[in-house]
């Protein structure tokens, strides 16, 4: 038996932030990063709360990749304030940090049910609707994915006003993160009709609106569409899982601090080629691996050449590479110019081991060996 369940109420469209006036909580802890806390963006959160007569306090010491020491500080703040609800405002790091802070604090002092309202300010992670969070042990240089239904937000508020000022580079990285979420969940061994439908719609939106949002940040129609696509992709991978693109990207982020969406985008062409393995048919020699048909479906949705399955997979890989070039995302690690060959190749073996242990790996449509992972990392250096 399989089960598809949506635990999060989603509020979207114009003036979605008006929902903050209506939330059934009186004492709110806002968790966000220093940039948002010091910008006028925070007013979009606090003004509805104030107008509804709600109490609130602010924890703004969130930093990228949700390091465990900052989460510990957030737990202290949470336990001292004892809120009725947490409002998480920011990208994946802020929302993941909020999930972890609430989870750990209530294990220390389970004083009651505390709501979690996620308000994403980027269109990429889908964390607002997932039961996943990623925390970073900076000392060990390891990222740990947390998975529990208790991590899922009670509500998500999708308001495109919060992403209007996102710079093009972040729009590109997070947009390709959305696409990767959708594509990996679509070919996952745990895919189902519900996850597939969500992934297909997210991919269709990315195909039409991602480049538009990148080229013109004031194109609010494109912004709204990509904000919804991110959420759809999150719902899809929350039930179907992901794959080795994410497993490998987690290591690039932990060891070399490559932004997560960018790492996904750079790895994705190589992982598609590995999963499809179009140069070899299955043992029966009568058909390609199952992922090939699903990649071909995606090529069709994107309006790419689909004369046959091999051409479809190649077209999909070319489309991904085209998007990277158009949005100025590096194609290779060497192109980034920030990582030396010695450090990169010296870390590959350890990164490959960690990627194999990553919780995203078991859902990948083709079972990788350590040598497979090392080969992909090696190709990623120079292309």
- DSSP-derived 3-state class of residue 233: helix
Query: What number is the average pLDDT over the span 341-346?
Result: 96
Residues 116, 117, 122, 126: what is their CA dihedral angle, to the nearest 10 degrees? 60
Rounded CA separation 359/361 (Å): 6
The lowest-confidence range among 37-46, 268-277, 305-314, 351-360 is: 305-314
Beta carbons of 32 and 90 less than 8 angstroms apart: yes
In the numeric block, which tokens belong to residue 218? 């004031």
What was the pLDDT predicted at 283?
45
pLDDT value at 109 more than 90 = yes
In the numeric block, which tokens belong to residue 88? 């998480």
* pTM for the model: 0.92
Number of neighbouring beta carbons within 10 Å of residue 89: 29
The lowest-confidence range among 51-55, 145-149, 260-264 is: 145-149
Query: What number is the average pLDDT over the span 100-127?
Result: 94
Please give the full DSSP string across 108-173, using - where no structure is assigned. Answer: H---S--EEEEEESSSS--GGG-SEEEEEETTTTEEEEEE-GGGS-SEEEE-GGGGTT--HHHHHH
pLDDT value at 108 more than 90 = yes
Per-residue model confidence as pLDDT tens digits over 197-208: 999 999 999 999
What domains can you pick out in the chain, each with its CATH number? 9-163 (3.40.50.1970), 168-382 (1.20.1090.10)
Query: What number is the average pLDDT over the span 278-290?
Result: 65
Beta carbons of 296 and 306 less than 8 angstroms apart: yes
Rounded CA separation 222/216 (Å): 9
Residues 286, 289, 291, 292: what is their CA dihedral angle, to the nearest 10 degrees? -50
- DSSP-derived 3-state class of residue 55: strand
Rounded CA separation 313/319 (Å): 10
What was the pLDDT predicted at 67?
78
Distance of CA 286 to the CA centre of its chain: 36
Band of the pLDDT at 5, cuts 50, 70, 90? confident
Per-residue model confidence as pLDDT tens digits over 178-188: 999 999 999 99
What was the pLDDT predicted at 62?
86
pLDDT value at 280 more than 70 = no
Per-residue model confidence as pLDDT tens digits over 33-48: 999 999 999 999 999 9
Band of the pLDDT at 107, cuts 50, 70, 90? very high
Q: Give the Å distances, CA to CA, from 8 to 103, 155, 161, 245, 370.
A: 17, 5, 21, 26, 37
Q: Give the Å distances, CA to CA, from 342 to 97, 348, 381.
A: 33, 10, 11
Per-residue model confidence as pLDDT tens digits over 117-156: 999 999 988 999 999 887 777 777 777 777 889 999 999 9
What was the pLDDT predicted at 282?
47
Query: What number is the average pLDDT over the span 149-175?
Result: 94
């Amino acid at each position: 038996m399989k089960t598809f369940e949506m635990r999060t109420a989603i509020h979207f469209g114009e003036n979605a932030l008006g929902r903050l006036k209506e939330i059934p909580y009186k004492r709110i802890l806002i968790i966000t990063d220093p940039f948002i806390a010091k910008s006028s963006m925070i007013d979009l959160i606090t003004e509805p709360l104030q107008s509804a007569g709600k109490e609130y306090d602010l924890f703004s010491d969130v930093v990228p990749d949700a390091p465990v020491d900052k989460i510990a500080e957030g737990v202290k703040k949470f336990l001292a304030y004892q809120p009725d609800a947490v409002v998480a405002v920011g990208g994946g790091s802020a929302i993941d940090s909020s999930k972890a802070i609430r989870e750990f604090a209530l294990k220390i002092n389970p004083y009651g049910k505390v709501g979690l309202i996620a308000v994403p300010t980027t269109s990429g992670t889908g964390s607002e609707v997932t039961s996943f969070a990623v925390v970073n042990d900076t000392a060990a240089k390891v990222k740990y994915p947390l998975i529990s239904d208790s991590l899922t937000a009670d509500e998500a508020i999708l308001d495109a006003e919060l992403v209007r000022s996102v710079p093009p580079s972040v729009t590109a990285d997070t947009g390709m993160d959305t696409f990767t979420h959708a594509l990996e969940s679509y070919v996952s061994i745990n895919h189902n009709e519900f996850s597939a439908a969500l992934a297909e719609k997210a991919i269709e939106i990315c195909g039409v609106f991602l480049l538009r949002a990148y080229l013109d940040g004031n194109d609010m129609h494109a912004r709204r569409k990509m904000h919804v696509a991110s959420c759809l992709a999150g719902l899809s991978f929350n039930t179907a899982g992901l794959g080795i693109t994410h497993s490998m990207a987690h290591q690039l982020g932990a060891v070399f601090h490559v932004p997560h969406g960018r790492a996904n985008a750079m790895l994705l062409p190589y992982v598609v080629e590995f999963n499809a393995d179009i140069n070899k048919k299955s043992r029966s020699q009568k058909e390609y691996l199952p992922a090939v048909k699903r990649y071909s479906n995606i090529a069709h949705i994107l309006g790419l050449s689909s004369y046959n399955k091999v051409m479809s997979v190649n077209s999909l890989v070319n489309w991904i590479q085209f998007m990277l070039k158009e949005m100025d995302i590096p194609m290779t690690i060497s192109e980034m110019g920030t990582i030396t060959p010695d450090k990169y190749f010296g870390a590959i073996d350890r990164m490959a081991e960690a990627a194999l242990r990553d919780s995203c790996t078991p859902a990948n449509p083709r079972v990788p060996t350590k040598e497979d992972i090392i080969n992909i990392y090696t190709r990623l250096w120079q292309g």
